[in-house]
Amino acid sequence: MGTYLNPGNAGFQTIRNSLYVDKSGLISCINDTIGTVDKLTCVSRPRRFGKSFAAKMLSAYYDRSCDSRNLFLDLEISKDPSFEKHLNKYEVLYLDLIWFISNAPDISQTISCLHEKVISELKDTFPNVKPADVLPEMLEYIHKQTGLQFIVIIDEWDALFREAKENTDLQKEYIRLLRGLFKSSQTDKMIAAAYMTGILPIKKYGTQSAMTDFREYTMLQPGPLARYSGFTEQEVQALCSQFHMDFTEARKWYDGYTLGRLTSVYNPNSIIRAMKLQEYDSYWTQTETYESLRIYIDMNEDGLKEALIQMLGGSSFPIDTGTFQNDMTSISSKDDIFTLLVHLGYLAYDSRTESVFIPNEEIRREFIRSVKFGKHTEIARMIRASDQLLWDTFSLNCEAVAAAIEQAHSVGTTPLLYNNEQALRSVIRFAYISCMNEYTEIQELPSGHGFADIVYLPNRHSDKPALVIELKWNKTAAGAIRQIRERRYPQVLEKFTHDILLVGINYDAETKKHTCQIERYQN
């Protein structure tokens, strides 16, 4: 077993010794590609979404220097017809780009360091093979003399493009390496399959891209690999049952990613941390500072401020993902910013509606932190004012509530969408954003006589009242209160609490004025 060539199965053994959710079905997908035109696979996901776990699993399965049978016998892949055919049958070349960047004397020497270290190990393993100066040529010589084929696994393949954004000479050197491995006349002979992980999708570097033959699976287009890109709802339910954790809370904190046909995908790292620590919190976002998000949402692109308010208010926002150049530097519009944030895991993307949204409580809190200390001072001021709005609501201060909603509406809506009922609802939910810390939000609460627009139900052990909010358009706030009573919305909440406030809000589209009426519910 070596460092780069056939590193063994210790990495996957460590994973199996920890809390592990079976994702071995991915191996079957890669087995199907071996020796075909689809044998080059590139998977991009956010940090902490299990990229390295998958790479180590594949390495343990294919590596001919070890016996990994017992590691897989109780997993899904063991029942697949291809299990025995490919188990521990290949020379595996495992390249972790972060490792090479960290251990090179200088980041500019990363690729020369890679060539030197990997070739040195190959020479020791195959002493009778003619030596070469570059890695692709060395693999070619080994194949010609031994007939062996390689499975190449590259973890964090795009790290150089993220860590050395401006060093184009280094990037070109790296592209030459990738072209020699995956786009040469020898590729089909010496490479049985390749699997690369990264955060960003493949960027096309001119017409002679080294990556055009890769089958790519991203957060926008996960294809058949969607269920291996995160934890499914069934997997999280099983974990919550095993660790005696509230599944409803897990869904609130970590659900919300939509990948292809899978409409409920959870962040794996956060779920595992929550199960182990027996507490729901923002775990994934602790792996980076809020600065990484703030850099992009501080950009002053047209319409960005209004879009942020709409999404913080719980709405989705339509975007065009086609303009994104798959890098962190060629950002020219809010669509580019939001598409990048999808790939970084800060936003979820619904391919059916071609729109983005904040997926869950964990990410919502990260957005709020970033906005509070960012350059969008109006949004930050409104977030800080939300506590006062809540207090004014508790105090039945109708004029103050109406004024706060009016301010939020004017700041958070473009002129085109100002007279839009859905936009108004999102603005009101944003204005009451401080509710999210102590309340569970319910949109369109069913009562048997219709649906309440917005309901905030206090969390257990809270001394706050429930809020039933009804919106009207070109009518009256009193009419909104009357509808709440007539349709008996509060009765649905009585099994949870008897302390309920009724809030009616009306917007006059002609005068652009908001009125409010608040009453304490008495049965």
> What distance in Å separates the CA atoms of residue 177 and residue 179, rounded to the nearest whole number?
5
Is 370 within the bounds of a domain?
A: no
* Domain shared by 258 and 289, yes or no: yes
pLDDT at position 435, please? 81
Is 368 within the bounds of a domain?
A: no
* Domain shared by 255 and 206, yes or no: no
* Domain shared by 198 and 232, yes or no: no
> What distance in Å separates the CA atoms of residue 175 and residue 82, rounded to the nearest whole number?
33
The closest of 373, 377, 374, 342 to 358, measured between CA atoms, is: 342
* Domain shared by 235 and 203, yes or no: no
> What distance in Å separates the CA atoms of residue 503 and residue 79, rounded to the nearest whole number?
57
* Domain shared by 200 and 240, yes or no: no
Which helix (H) or strand (E) element contains residue 29?
Answer: helix 25-31
pLDDT at position 415, please? 45
Domain holding 99, by residue range, is 10-217
Q: Which of 362, 397, 419 is the last residue of a domain?
A: 362
Dihedral over alpha carbons 442, 443, 445, 449 (to 10 degrees): 170
* Domain shared by 381 and 427, yes or no: yes
> What distance in Å separates the CA atoms of residue 181 and residue 140, rounded to the nearest whole number?
9
Beta bridge partners of residue 266, listed in sequence order: 231
Is 3 within the bounds of a domain?
A: no
* Domain shared by 305 and 436, yes or no: no
DSSP 90: B
Longest dimension (CA), the chain: 90
pLDDT at position 412, please? 62
**Residue 484 belongs to a domain with what CATH number?**
3.40.1350
pLDDT at position 3, please? 93
* Domain shared by 339 and 411, yes or no: no
Q: How far does the chain reach from its first CA to its final CA, in angstroms?
A: 75
Q: What is the 3-state secondary structure (H, E, C) of 412-442?
A: HCCHHHCCCHHHHHHHHHHHCHHHHHCEEEE
**Going by C-beta distance under 8 Å and a sequence separation of 6 or more, which residues neighbour residue 207?**
none
* Domain shared by 520 and 388, yes or no: yes
* Domain shared by 426 and 388, yes or no: yes
Is 4 within the bounds of a domain?
A: no
pLDDT at position 489, please? 83
**Residue 137 belongs to a domain with what CATH number?**
3.40.50
E runs forming strands in 187-307? 191-198, 215-217, 231-232, 257-259, 262-266
Check if the beta carbon of residue 339 is closer than 8 Å to that of residue 307: no
Instruction: Divide the 523 residues of the chain into consecutive groups of 10 and give the mean pLDDT of each group.
Output: 93 95 97 95 91 95 97 97 96 96 94 96 94 94 96 94 87 91 91 94 60 89 92 96 94 90 89 95 69 78 79 86 81 89 92 92 87 78 86 95 87 53 78 82 67 83 88 92 88 83 91 92 79
Is 270 within the bounds of a domain?
A: yes
Is 349 within the bounds of a domain?
A: yes
* Domain shared by 290 and 381, yes or no: no
Beta bridge partners of residue 96, listed in sequence order: 155
Q: Which of 305, 339, 362 is the last residue of a domain?
A: 362
> What distance in Å separates the CA atoms of residue 262 and residue 355, rounded to the nearest whole number?
16
CA distances from 494 to 23, 249, 444 (A): 44, 22, 17
pLDDT at position 204, please? 58
Check if the beta carbon of residue 99 is closer than 8 Å to that of residue 163: no
Is 2 within the bounds of a domain?
A: no
Check if the beta carbon of residue 484 is closer than 8 Å to that of residue 468: yes
* Domain shared by 395 and 507, yes or no: yes
Instruction: Kindly report the pTM of this predicted structure.
Output: 0.87
Q: Which of 303, 337, 362 is the last residue of a domain?
A: 362
pLDDT at position 60, please? 98
Q: Is beta strand 91-96 parallel, antiparallel or unpaired with respect to 215-217?
A: unpaired
How many structural domains does the chain have?
3
